Amino acid sequence: MPLSDCQYAARVSFVFNAGAGSLRSSTLRRRLNAGDYDCVPSERAKWVKATDPNTGRKVSVAGLVRRREREINGRAAVDLEGDGAIDGFLSQAFLAPAAV
């Protein structure tokens, strides 16, 4: 599917942070590939856990909860050029691919 630069950057950033292995088998990936872009907010809200190094169990991380809320609510900006200007928002970047 064709993606704008902002869409591509947002998805690469998310994969880097979430882990390619985890995303590969995720419901989020399956639904995005099926064209279900309405699922993005609810599916991304699930990605708030990390492995506790002491117990080896997955636990919710307050910082990830806040980050996902900012992303979902359109307050997580993307600066593609590195010039300090906002080129888009992560929540928008996960939506339908750009028309070409």
What total of structural domains would you count in the chain?
Answer: 1
How far apart are the C-alpha atoms of 5 and 21, rounded to whole Å?
23
How is residue 96 written in tokens?
A: 């339908």
Q: Work out the end-to-end distance of the chain between its first and last CA atoms, rounded to an integer number of angstroms.
A: 10
Residue 97 corresponds to which tokens in the numbers above? Answer: 């691919």
> What predicted TM-score, i.e. pTM, was given to this entire model?
0.63
**Is residue 73 situated within a structural domain?**
yes
Tokens 């419901």: give the residue. 27
Tell me: the pLDDT tens digits for 24-49?
888 988 888 888 878 888 888 898 99
Q: Which residue has the higher pLDDT, 59 or 17?
A: 59
Structural domain boundaries, residue 16: 5-93
- Comparing 51 with 78, the larger pLDDT belongs to 51
Residue 49, phi then psi, degrees to nearest 5? -115, 150
Residues 6 or more apart whose Cβ sits within 8 Å of residue 11: 3, 93, 94
Residue 48 counted as domain residue: yes
Examine residue 100 and state whether it is found in any structural domain, yes or no: no
Phi first, then psi, for residue 60 (nearest 5°) are -70, 140
Nearest CA among 64, 94, 62, 91 for reference residue 75: 91
Interval 62-97: pLDDT, tens: 998 888 887 777 655 555 556 665 555 555 555 555
Does some domain include residue 45?
yes
Contacts (Cβ under 8 Å, ≥6 apart) of 42: none
Domain annotation covers residue 87: yes
